[in-house]
Amino acid sequence: MNVLITGATGFIGRNLSLRLAERGHRVVALVRRRSAGLEEKGIESRVADFEDADDMRRAISGSEVIFHLAALRGEWGWTAEQLKRVNVEMTGRLLDAAAATGARQFIYCSSVSVHGRFARKPADENYIYAPVSGYGESKVEAEKLVRSYNGQGGLATTIIRPVITYGRYDFTGMVTKLIKLIHSGRYLTVGSGENTVHLAYIDDLCDGLIIAASREEAAGETFILAGERPITINELVSKICSLLHKRVPKFHVPLLAAKCTGLLFEVAFRMGGRTFMKEPLITRSKVDIMTVDRAYNIEKARSLLGYRPRIDYDEGLLRTVDWMRADCLI
């Protein structure tokens, strides 16, 4: 199939582009500037002005399936206007272009951040919108747009909400940072460490995205994609320590102390720290990621898509550590 991907130079997009190309699909990366790294792998870079609706229609013409992964991510460094312009308005222009040029399917990569901090676990796709950041709010608005375009001009739209994903080419993600901290001996567990996080290995997420593009049942639907099970922070840290031949840290930072430290870093950032860094080193939301229980129900993706995560934590972490070593990241 003829596939177009936005965000193809990012973590998920790069892995997805390579996986599709390996399977013999014609892959076009819609970019602001050409990427030699992708073109070396047989992926065409097509430059477009993302602010120009006519240029967008020209650029995506001939595409059967569009994976929209490009977005401003994170809660720091972006204004509400920037998040709206890129995460919402650009999505709208892409949807217009897709419907106008006869694309068959539009797969939108959203985020479980639209659910915020939830009380009922495991959360499924029907859980209420409760974003706690500007990024999450922008994803909610974009989801509503995507849903409204389903069926227009023969276009089927599907929303994918990935959990925190890890693996090769993830240079800045939560698991990569955790591995670096443990490797350097600077990691400290916040709180008890018995709370759960729910992760996905990148190959499983890419498989889920590709399956969604091939199933009629995906039209108009929303799916959470995650690994087989959640994992406690203590278990996750223990597995990484074993791979790195490090001792499991014994000292635990009290949650209140970590929250207060995060608040201080946030205040310092707002008072001028943004001159020296993109975001505060520690924030209350980063503390939440490592201390709040999160678990997700993937039964809908199992039943409608046949989604089956294959990579368990042992294998996924081993592959990630091996990649980081080969890339001289640790």
- Whether residue 117 is contained in a domain is answered as yes
- Whether residue 213 is contained in a domain is answered as yes
Domain limits for position 156: 2-169+199-227+295-309
**Coil/strand/helix, residue 68:** strand
Residue 52 maps to which CATH number? 3.40.50.720
Q: How far is CA 299 from CA 308, 311, 317, in A?
A: 10, 17, 24
- Whether residue 156 is contained in a domain is answered as yes
| For residue 2, pLDDT beyond 90 | yes
- Whether residue 176 is contained in a domain is answered as no
**What average pLDDT does the chain have?**
93
The residues, ordered by sequence, that sit 6+ positions from 186 with a Cβ below 8 Å of its Cβ are none
Identify the pLDDT of residue 120.
66
Burial of 176 (0-12, 13-18, 19+ CB in 10 A): buried
Identify the pLDDT of residue 74.
77
Taking Cα atoms as reference points, which of 229, 149, 203 lies closest to residue 323?
Answer: 203
Of residues 103 and 269, more confidently modeled: 103
Identify the pLDDT of residue 266.
86
Q: How many residues does the chain have?
A: 330
Render pLDDT for 166-191 as a digit per residue (tens, 0 to 9).
999 999 999 999 999 999 999 999 99
Of residues 132 and 200, more confidently modeled: 200
Average pLDDT of span 304-322: 98
- Whether residue 267 is contained in a domain is answered as no
Burial of 80 (0-12, 13-18, 19+ CB in 10 A): exposed
Taking Cα atoms as reference points, which of 29, 22, 39 lies closest to residue 3?
Answer: 29
Average pLDDT of span 253-282: 84
- Whether residue 45 is contained in a domain is answered as yes
Identify the pLDDT of residue 294.
92
Per the structure, the count of domains in the chain is 1
Report the share of the chain in percent with pLDDT over 90.
Answer: 80
The model carries a pTM of 0.94
Report the share of the chain in percent with pLDDT over 70.
Answer: 97
- C-alpha span between 52 and 155 (Å, rounded): 21
Identify the pLDDT of residue 276.
64
| For residue 14, pLDDT beyond 90 | yes
- Whether residue 257 is contained in a domain is answered as no
Identify the pLDDT of residue 34.
74
- Whether residue 63 is contained in a domain is answered as yes
